[in-house]
C-alpha cells in the first residue's frame, strides 16, 4: 500500500507515477479480473519484482491507485446556500461512485487488508463535508452536524452502490438531503 517512502524523489517517484498511470489506463480498457502484475509491469516498463516488493500484491496496488484517484483536487462547488451545496455535492458523489470505475475504486479500497485505505478515503469525504459546513457557518446559516450527514446521506448512498439493491438517482440523493435537513428543522421545532 505504498508505505511512506524514505526516498520521495527521482527514480522512485517516476516509477510510482508510471505504474499508477498504467493501472488507470488498464482499468479503462480491460476487465479487472484480467489485470495481472506482470501485465502492469510490462506496460509501465518496470520489473514485476519491483511492484511486488513495493506494493506487496495486486490488490494493495489497486487500492493505492484508487485512493490516489479519490484524493480531492478541488473543493465542492459553491452554490450559495447550504441545502443546494449539499445536494450538488452528494448528487455528484453518487454519480462518480456508482459509475463503473467508481464502483471499482470502492471495491479496491475496501479489499485492502489493513483497512487504512478505507479510512483515508473516508477522510476525504469528511473533509469535503467540513468545507460545506464551514461555508454554511460563514453565511450565517446554522451549520449541520457532519456525523449526522454521513449517517443520513452518505451512508445510504454508499450502501446502495455496494449492495446494488437500489440506484442512487439524483432525485433519491436530493430526498436524502431533504430528509436530513428536514429532520434538523423538526427537531429544533420540538425543543
Partner DNA sequence: CACCTTAACGCAATTTTTTAGCGTTAGGCG
Partner DNA sequence: CGCCTAACGCTAAAAAATTGCGTTAAGGTG
Binding-site partner at residue 11 among DNA, its own copies, none, CB < 5 to 8 Å by type: DNA
The yes or no reply on residue 121 touching its own copies (CB under 8 A) is yes
Binding-site partner at residue 46 among its own copies, DNA, none, CB < 5 to 8 Å by type: DNA
Could you say which of 30, 38, 124, 134 contacts DNA (CB under 7 A)?
Answer: 38
Could you say which of 57, 77, 134, 151 contacts DNA (CB under 7 A)?
Answer: 57
The yes or no reply on residue 164 touching its own copies (CB under 8 A) is yes
Count of residues of this chain found to bind its own copies when the rule CB under 8 A is applied: 35
Could you say which of 17, 25, 30, 36 contacts DNA (CB under 7 A)?
Answer: 36
Could you say which of 24, 52, 92, 103 contacts DNA (CB under 7 A)?
Answer: 52
Nearer to its own copies, 72 or 115 (CB): 115
Length of the chain: 191
The yes or no reply on residue 12 touching DNA (CB under 7 A) is yes
- Give the chain as a DSSP string: --PPPS--SHHHHHHHHHHHHHHHHHHHHS-GGG--HHHHHHHHTS-HHHHHHHHSSHHHHHHHHHHHHHS-SSPPP--SSHHHHHHHHHHHHHHHHHSHHHHHHHHHHHH-TTSHHHHHHHHHHHHHHHHHHHHHHHHT--PPPHHHHIIIIIHHHHHHHHH-SS---HHHHHHHHHHHHHHHHHHHHH-
**Interface with DNA by CB under 7 A: which residues?**
5-12, 15-16, 36-39, 45-50, 52-54, 56-58
Amino acid at each position: 500500500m505504498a508505505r511512506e517512502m524514505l526516498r520521495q524523489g527521482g527514480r522512485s517517484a517516476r516509477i510510482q507515477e508510471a505504474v499508477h498511470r498504467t493501472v488507470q489506463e488498464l482499468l479503462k480498457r480491460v476487465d479487472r479480473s484480467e489485470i495481472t502484475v506482470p501485465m502492469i509491469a510490462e506496460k509501465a516498463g518496470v520489473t514485476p519484482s519491483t511492484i511486488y516488493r513495493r506494493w506487496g500484491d495486486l490488490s494493495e496496488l489497486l487500492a493505492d491507485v484508487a485512493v490516489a484517484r479519490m484524493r480531492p483536487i478541488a473543493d465542492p462547488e459553491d452554490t450559495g446556500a447550504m441545502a443546494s451545496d449539499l445536494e450538488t455535492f452528494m448528487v455528484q458523489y453518487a454519480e462518480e461512485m456508482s459509475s463503473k470505475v467508481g464502483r471499482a475504486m470502492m471495491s479496491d479500497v475496501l479489499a485492502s487488508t489493513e483497512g487504512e485505505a478505507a479510512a483515508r478515503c473516508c477522510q476525504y469525504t469528511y473533509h469535503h463535508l467540513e468545507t460545506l459546513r464551514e461555508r454554511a457557518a460563514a453565511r450565517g446559516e446554522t451549520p449541520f452536524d457532519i456525523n449526522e450527514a454521513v449517517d443520513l446521506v452518505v451512508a445510504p448512498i454508499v450502501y446502495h452502490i455496494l449492495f446494488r439493491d437500489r440506484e442512487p438517482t439524483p432525485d433519491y440523493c436530493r430526498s436524502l438531503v431533504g430528509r436530513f435537513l428536514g429532520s434538523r428543522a423538526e427537531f429544533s421545532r420540538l425543543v
